């Protein structure tokens, strides 16, 4: 009976390359095991969930390595799901980032007496969405991936149930996210309406034909604006500071790095594979978004008193830098992708590191005020040095990793050799100076100020999982800066051709 | 030995300090003596290495070309390579760095500024040394940029943690100013990369590769570099960070800042901006010359208005760097030789003056010149050393300062042919007036601090002793060099001249004949 079902509904199962979807399936499996563990072992399972999630993530790296070793481009579902170098490097990044987020979460979630199994289950689901996003070359796949990564994140942002701020964080993130999805979906429907196909390669052909059709223009703008919410680009960044501040800090780190990166992955695919011939439309739009994000993010960051809010606005400004190469993507092609991926990878290392320090210090001070960092050097010199490394790396000071990220962006926009490109370079140069001011403000607090009198100045105890996270991120930040070939080996524009 | 030096001669002294700092990181903070010893051993080893390099350099007898060249892959994707090498221009500056840093360690041996913490202080000093030596050795623009920026962080912390009352403001001002310049400089480097015929950051190839860039673009690219290097020098009107940074920095920080960091800017002009973009340099030269002479006069007037000894020395730096920039702006080999000499001389003399200011501050706990006086009575040797350095600084013939200023003035009588003679001759007159003012403020400073009788409040202060052993040890090499270079300047000119002639490529000579520019105009 069951075997005749396909012939009745006329459904033919498409060929599935199990190897190509192995990373997603592994994550799905681990997520299921984590959930089952909770049901079977109840309270006794709590101790194992974070370890299980962490190991599961590392296991998911294995098929990525084997796929990279095989080296061929794999397509499925008529080109809607593609595994190429572009997808693999980003999948690997998402999984490593998620692993570090698990390290950051372990003590935070356990000690805070929050629900653990559900947390890690949702985290794995969200990562699965991101990993899927890296392979999506089709509007529907992109949308499904986006929702899969967002919906768990809405819940995680509100994980500190008892705290109204966390509730506000989750709700705000949810409302803004849904709003953005709606706009994006509308744009997608316009594009689909004209192209009659959801695959990006078909959309590209339609856009090339009907570039001046207002429906196409509107569709492109709506889709880009939808993702501008996701990457917290100005003026669509307003959710970020409140959400970042209210959410549990490990979740903030996850949103600030992985979720933002996922937005960029989608933007890169859309710009590069979806409407490569519409540069007259998307370039000025992204130029404005880039300049607005870096400038507004920086200027507002200057006035922040709370470290997480500062990181939120710094994230807006960093998003501006990441948008910049896309604003000249039509002129320089694949080099723009290469620059954005380079930036995203380095940004992931240094930003996660900064959040790791914030979590470690907050264990002592229980405060997010920048004031609470006063005199940190006196009683936690190691933490101070690490935070200094991360902050100045974010500011782009050589030889720390951030310099090469900034360099890649400058290189891309100058390479365009257009007025738009050079002006963007000059604005970015000025902004990198402004950014230094607020990063240095935190550094100044830690190094130059005296310890507040009431503060506890016994040396800081840092749990092993945080030490591991700090070690990994600091090593990566330094290595990326001193020997950037580690990064460029994977992000070289000639290697990373994105398959439409 | 020669083989070894040729392969490793530059990489080892560049990275040895970082290794020393890494070792210190692992040792607990309270073992101060051990930290000092490690720092001293590292910096002395670097200096010994410098000496070996010098011997081998003389032995190679090829001052004009790059010696000890290393060329290895670094970041292949952007065609940036790990290229190191020194010639007659960079070697003196590099040796100056290698000399100054161990002297700083010796000087601070027993008096680390508040809040003490020798471990962190010396580690920063070592990181600084890596950055400074690397900048002078780098022959790839991106490598240069990285080293150029590496010095920012340690200096920021040195001023911010160990500095004076207003240190937070001074530290961030220093950082922001420099970063602003270098960000635009990086954009210029990138523009050069994409506009030049060959996509390369190799400083050896760029002069030729960049010749084809349209003049209008050259002028813009030069402008970015001008901001980057000019702020570092610092040239008027970007000098405002300097007095603050110098005044607030701890003694050792001021010494390094004056002796080496400022040279990174002028060195950038000589090594990068002018050889690669000579046509744009010719366009900018009158403007640079103008800012240079404004700097000379403004710095001197600034000095005359100071009450604080350290601030006075800081403003005198602005004036002296004006002479250096004036020499560079003439675009003649004579002027640029003078500029390189001026850099070294200023490093020795102003470095010394900051050491002295630090020692005065330590004894009197003030640098207010209206309260000082009678140093010659209370600490005669130190008083005489101060007099000697003041004389050197005002350009007394026979001491090193003279050979930086006088040829620079002379060179502006006869600038490169493409430049307007009248303009530069008027600059010459103004610069000459500057030397008179220099004599004025330095002698005035000497009168205020060294002559006369000590004020009542300090008359019987037991803290005011003459120079200590560690001070003598730190100062002697500098004093000897000031004298030796003053008496026998050929020691330095002999090394710089072939390199200047060579590295300013064919253009410098043809600047004089105008051929280079005619050829470019014909293109």
Is residue B286 over pLDDT 70?
yes
Is residue A395 over pLDDT 80?
yes
A436/B contact by beta carbon, under 8 A = yes
- For all residues of chain A together, what is the average pLDDT? 88
**ipTM for the complex shown:** 0.84
Q: Do B156 and A414 touch (CB under 8 A)?
A: no
pLDDT score of B514: 47
B519/A contact by beta carbon, under 8 A = no
pLDDT score of A80: 86
Confidence of residue B478 (pLDDT cuts 50, 70, 90): very high
Confidence of residue A2 (pLDDT cuts 50, 70, 90): low
A447/B contact by beta carbon, under 8 A = yes
Distance CA B283, CA B286 (A): 7
Domain boundaries, chain A: 278-500
B176/A contact by beta carbon, under 8 A = yes
Q: pLDDT digit string (tens) for A120-158?
A: 999 999 999 999 999 999 999 999 999 999 999 999 999
Out of B29, B77, B168, whose CB is closest to A488?
B77
Is residue A10 over pLDDT 90?
no
Distance CA B9, CA B6 (A): 6
Is residue A497 over pLDDT 90?
no
Is residue A493 over pLDDT 70?
no
Q: pLDDT digit string (tens) for A243-255?
A: 999 999 999 999 9
Is residue B221 over pLDDT 60?
yes
Mean pLDDT of B493-503: 85
Instruction: Give the lowest-confidence range in A417-426, B136-145, B423-432, B508-517.
Output: B508-517
pTM for the model = 0.89
Out of B153, B167, B176, whose CB is closest to A433?
B176
Phi–psi pair at B82, nearest 5 degrees: -90, 90
pLDDT score of A330: 83
B145/A contact by beta carbon, under 8 A = yes
Q: pLDDT digit string (tens) for A182-237?
A: 999 999 999 999 888 888 888 888 888 887 888 888 999 999 999 998 898 888 88
pLDDT score of B1: 66
Q: pLDDT digit string (tens) for B294-314?
A: 999 999 999 999 889 999 999
- For all residues of chain B together, what is the average pLDDT? 88
Out of A398, A411, A430, whose CB is closest to B150?
A398
Over pLDDT 70: what percentage of chain B? 96
Mean pLDDT of B489-496: 88
Is residue A1 over pLDDT 60?
no
Mean pLDDT of A308-322: 94
pLDDT score of A107: 86
A381/B contact by beta carbon, under 8 A = yes
Q: pLDDT digit string (tens) for A86-98?
A: 899 999 999 999 9
pLDDT score of A398: 85
> What is each CA distance from A224 to A207, B258, B373, in whole angstroms?
15, 51, 71
Mean pLDDT of B425-441: 92
A407/B contact by beta carbon, under 8 A = yes
Q: Do A429 and B149 touch (CB under 8 A)?
A: no
Over pLDDT 90: what percentage of chain A? 50
Domain boundaries, chain B: 2-522
pLDDT score of A109: 83
Confidence of residue A14 (pLDDT cuts 50, 70, 90): confident
Q: pLDDT digit string (tens) for A160-173?
A: 888 888 889 999 99
Mean pLDDT of B84-110: 92
pLDDT score of A7: 65
Instruction: Give the lowest-confidence range in A6-20, A21-35, A469-483, B97-111.
Output: A6-20
Q: What is the separation of C-alpha A298 from the centre of its chain, rounded to a whole number of angstroms? A: 19
Phi–psi pair at B262, nearest 5 degrees: -65, -30
- Count Cβ neighbours within 10 Å for each residue of B399-427 and write b for 16 or more, e otherwise: bbbbbbbbbbbebbebbbbbbeeeebeeb
Contacts of B149 in chain A (CB under 8 A): 397-399, 403
Q: Which residues make Cβ contacts (< 8 Å) with residue A320, sequence separation at least 6?
A: A233, A234, A289, A290, A291, A292, A293, A294, A295, A297, A428, A431
Q: pLDDT digit string (tens) for B122-131?
A: 999 999 999 9
Contacts of B11 in chain A (CB under 8 A): none
Over pLDDT 90: what percentage of chain B? 51
pLDDT score of B519: 41
Phi–psi pair at A378, nearest 5 degrees: -70, -35
Distance CA B184, CA B197 (A): 22
Distance CA A85, CA B130 (A): 38
Nearest to A477 by CA among A350, A291, A391: A350
A425/B contact by beta carbon, under 8 A = yes
For chain B, percent helix, then strand, then coil, each to nearest 5?
75, 5, 20
The DSSP element (H or E) to which B139 belongs, if any, is none
Q: Do B175 and A483 touch (CB under 8 A)?
A: no
Pair of tokens at residue A216: 């196409």
């Amino acid at each position: 009976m069951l075997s005749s079902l396909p012939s009745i509904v006329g459904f033919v199962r498409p060929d599935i390359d199990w190897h190509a979807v192995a990373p997603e399936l592994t994550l799905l499996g681990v997520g299921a095991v984590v959930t089952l563990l909770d049901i079977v072992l109840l309270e006794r399972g709590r101790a194992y969930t974070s370890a299980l999630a962490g190991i599961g993530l590392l296991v998911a790296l294995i098929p990525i390595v084997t796929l990279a070793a095989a080296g061929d481009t794999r397509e499925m579902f008529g080109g809607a799901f593609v595994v190429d170098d572009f997808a693999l490097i980003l999948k690997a990044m998402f999984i490593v980032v998620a692993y570090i987020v698990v390290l950051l979460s372990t003590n935070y979630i356990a000690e805070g007496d929050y629900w653990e199994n559900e947390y890690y289950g949702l985290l794995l689901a969200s990562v699965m969405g991101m990993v899927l996003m890296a392979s999506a070359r089709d509007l529907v796949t992109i949308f499904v991936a986006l929702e899969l990564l967002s919906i768990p994140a809405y819940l995680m942002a509100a994980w500190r149930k008892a705290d109204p701020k966390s509730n506000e964080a989750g709700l705000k993130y949810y409302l803004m996210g849904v709003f953005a999805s709606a706009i994006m979906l509308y744009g997608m429907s316009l594009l689909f309406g004209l192209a009659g196909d959801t695959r990006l390669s078909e959309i590209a052909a339609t856009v090339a034909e009907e570039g001046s059709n207002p429906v196409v223009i509107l569709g492109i703008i709506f889709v880009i604006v939808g993702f501008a919410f996701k990457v917290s680009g100005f003026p669509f960044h307003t959710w970020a500071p409140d959400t970042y501040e209210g959410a549990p800090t490990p979740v903030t780190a996850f949103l600030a790095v992985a979720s933002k990166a996922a937005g960029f992955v989608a933007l890169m695919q859309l710009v590069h594979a979806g409407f490569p011939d519409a540069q007259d439309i998307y370039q000025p739009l992204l130029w404005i978004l880039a300049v607005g994000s870096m400038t507004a993010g920086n200027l507002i960051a200057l006035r922040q008193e709370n470290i997480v809010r500062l990181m939120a606005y710094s994230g807006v400004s960093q998003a501006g830098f990441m948008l910049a190469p896309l604003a000249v993507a039509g002129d320089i092609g694949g080099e723009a992708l290469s620059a954005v991926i380079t930036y995203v990878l380095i940004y992931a290392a240094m930003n996660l590191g900064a959040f790791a320090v914030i979590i470690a210090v907050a264990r002592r001070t229980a405060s997010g005020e920048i004031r609470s960092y006063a005199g940190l050097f006196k009683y936690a010199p190691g933490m101070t040095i690490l935070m200094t490394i991360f902050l100045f790396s974010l500011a782009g000071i050589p030889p720390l990793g951030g310099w090469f990220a900034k360099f890649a962006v400058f290189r891309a926009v100058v390479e365009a050799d257009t007025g738009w490109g050079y002006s963007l370079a000059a604005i970015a140069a000025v902004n990198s100076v402004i950014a230094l001011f607020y990063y240095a403000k935190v550094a100044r607090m830690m190094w130059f100020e005296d310890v507040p009198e009431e503060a506890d100045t016994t040396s800081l105890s840092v749990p092993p999982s945080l030490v591991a996270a700090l070690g990994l991120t600091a090593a990566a930040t330094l290595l990326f800066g001193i020997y950037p070939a580690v990064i460029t080996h994977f992000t070289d524009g000639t290697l990373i051709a994105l398959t439409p | 030995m020669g083989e070894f030096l040729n392969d490793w001669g530059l990489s080892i002294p560049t990275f040895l300090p970082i290794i020393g700092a890494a070792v210190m990181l692992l040792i607990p903070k309270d073992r101060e003596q051990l930290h000092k010893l490690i720092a001293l051993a590292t910096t002395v080893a670097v200096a010994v290495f410098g000496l070996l390099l010098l011997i081998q350099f003389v032995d190679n007898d090829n001052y004009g070309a790059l010696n000890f060249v290393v060329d290895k892959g670094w970041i292949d994707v952007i065609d940036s390579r790990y290229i190191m090498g020194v010639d007659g221009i960079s070697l003196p500056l590099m040796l100056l760095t290698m000399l100054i840093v161990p002297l700083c360690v010796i000087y601070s041996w027993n008096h680390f500024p508040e809040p003490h913490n020798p471990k962190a202080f010396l580690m920063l000093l070592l990181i600084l040394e890596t950055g400074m030596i690397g900048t002078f050795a780098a022959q790839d623009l991106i490598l240069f940029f990285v080293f150029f920026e590496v010095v920012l962080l340690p200096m920021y912390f040195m001023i911010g943690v160990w500095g004076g009352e207003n240190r937070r403001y001074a530290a961030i001002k220093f950082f922001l100013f420099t970063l602003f310049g270098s960000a635009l400089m990086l954009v210029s480097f990138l523009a050069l990369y994409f506009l030049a015929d060959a996509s390369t950051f190799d400083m050896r190839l760029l002069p030729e590769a960049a010749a084809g860039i349209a003049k209008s673009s050259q002028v813009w690219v030069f402008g970015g570099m001008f901001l980057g290097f000019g702020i570092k020098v610092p040239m008027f009107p970007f000098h405002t960070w300097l007095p603050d940074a110098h005044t607030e920095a701890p003694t050792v920080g001021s010494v390094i800042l004056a002796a080496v960091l400022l040279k990174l800017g002028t060195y950038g002009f000589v090594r990068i901006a002018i050889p690669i973009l000579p046509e744009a340099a010719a366009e900018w030269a009158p403007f640079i010359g103008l800012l240079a002479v404004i700097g000379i006069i403004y710095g001197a007037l600034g000095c005359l208005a100071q009450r604080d000894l350290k601030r006075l020395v800081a403003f005198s730096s602005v004036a002296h760097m004006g002479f250096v920039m004036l020499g560079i702006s003439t675009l003649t080999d004579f002027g640029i030789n003078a500029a390189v000499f001026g850099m070294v001389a200023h490093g020795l003399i102003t470095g010394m003056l900051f050491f002295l200011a630090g020692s005065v501050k330590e004894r009197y706990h003030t640098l207010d010149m209206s309260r000082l006086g009678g140093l010659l009575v209370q600490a005669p040797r130190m008083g005489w050393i101060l007099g000697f350095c003041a004389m050197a600084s005002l350009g007394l013939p026979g001491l090193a300062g003279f050979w930086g200023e006088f040829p620079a003035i002379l060179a502006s009588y006869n600038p490169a042919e493409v430049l307007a003679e009248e303009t530069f001759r008027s600059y010459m007159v103004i610069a000459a007036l500057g030397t008179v003012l220099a004599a004025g403020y330095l002698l005035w400073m000497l009168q205020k601090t060294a002559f006369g009788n000590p004020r009542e409040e300090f008359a019987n202060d037991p803290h005011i002793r003459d120079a200590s052993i560690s001070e003598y040890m730190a100062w002697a090499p500098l004093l000897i060099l000031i004298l030796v270079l003053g008496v026998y300047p050929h020691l330095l000119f002999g090394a710089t001249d072939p390199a200047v002639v060579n590295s300013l490529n064919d253009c410098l000579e043809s600047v004089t004949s105008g051929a280079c520019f005619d050829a470019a105009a014909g293109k």
